[in-house]
Copies of this chain bind each other. A is one copy, B any other.
Amino acid sequence: MAAIKTIGILTSGGDAPGMNAAIRAVTRSAIFSGFKVKGIYRGYKGLLTNEIVDFKTQNVSNIIQMGGTILKTARCQEFKSPEGRQLAYDTLRQHEIDALVVIGGDGSLSGARAFATEFNFPCIGLPGTIDNDLYGTDETIGYDTALNTIMECVDKIRDTATSHERLFFIEVMGRDAGFLALNGAIASGAEAAIIPEISTEVDQLAELIQNGFRKSKNSSIVLVAESPVTGGAMALAERVNKEYPEYDVRVSILGHLQRGGSPTARDRILASRLGSAAIDALLDDQRNVMIGISNDEIVYVPFSKAIKKDKPINRSLLDTLRRLSI
C-alpha cells in the first residue's frame, strides 16, 4: 500500500468524556506530522451516509474541555454486514482517506478489526468507554471522569442518607465489569459494592450492613453495577427490604448522567497522549492495534486481544473496601 497521506477519524458506540480531547490530539498530531485529516460524523454510519469534512487545527480548538463528541456517535447495523463495509470502503477511497482512527469501546473496535482485515486498511483504535473494560490498557478514556461523577453523586446522596439514617442502593454503569462500582464505592466511602465479577449473597450483605448499624453508623450505601449478573439495584433492594423490613431502604439509579460532563485532568491527559500516539503508530507502520497505556507507557494492543480478553479486576480492593467500611 502506498504511503498514508490522509487520516480519517470517527467516534463510535457510547460516548465518553475525553473523546473530544482525543479527536483534538489525533487531529493536531496528524497535522503536525504533515497528514491531512478528515472528520467522519456519526461513527461508521457517516461512512455510509458520506458525512465527512476536512479538519484543520481550528476545528478542534476549545474542545478539550467538552463532554460528548463533536463528531457525534451512532450505532450502525449496516456496517456489520460485508455489503455495508464495502460501501464504507468505497466512501473512504472516494475521500482519499488512507487510514482510520476509531475511538470507541469493544463493539467499535470489533468493527474496526473486521474492516481492517477485509480491506487490508490501516486502522488504529483508541479505547473510549467509561466502563474501563478493554484489555491491554490500564485505563480507558472516560473512566476517570465517570468515576468522579459517580463519587460526586454519592457524596450528595450521602448528605441525605446521613441526615435521614437510611440504607441506599445506588446503581452505576458496568454491564460486564465492576470497575466503576468497586472503585466508586471506595472513593465515596460506601459500605459495599455489588459487581458482576463476584457473587454476593443477600445474607452476607445484610450482615455487613447490620454490623454497621450496630456500631452506630447512621447510614449505609451500597453501589450496584447495572448488570444481568447483579440484577440491578432495584431487585436487590427489594430482596433486602423483604428480609429485613426494619431498614429504611431507598434506591437511586444514576443513569445517563454518568456518560457526560467535562473530562477530568486524567482523562484529558490520557486522551491527549493516546491520540498523539495513534499518529506515531501510523508513522511506525503499525495497524490494527489499539493504543493503550500500561505503567505510564504507551503500548500497542492487537485488536484481537483488546476485545477478546477479559480485563481482571483488582480483587484486593474488595478487601480494602471491607476494612474501611467498619
Task: Identify the A interface with B (CB < 8 A).
Answer: 11, 15, 17, 24-25, 28-29, 31-32, 57-58, 61-62, 64-69, 72-74, 138, 144, 147-151, 153, 155-160, 162-165, 168, 183-184, 186-189, 215-218, 250, 252-257, 259-262, 264-266, 268-269, 272-273, 276, 295-296, 314, 317, 320, 323-326
Contact = CB atoms under 8 A, between A and B. Distances in A.
Contacts of A323: 28-29, 32, 276
A156 B29 CA distance: 25
B320 A276 contact: yes
Contacts of A260: 155-160
Copies in the complex: 4
Most buried by B among A153, A183, A218: A153
A68 B160 CA distance: 6
A155 B184 CA distance: 21
A153 B258 CA distance: 9
Nearest to A68: B159
Contact of A265 (B28, B184, B324): B184
A17 B24 CA distance: 25
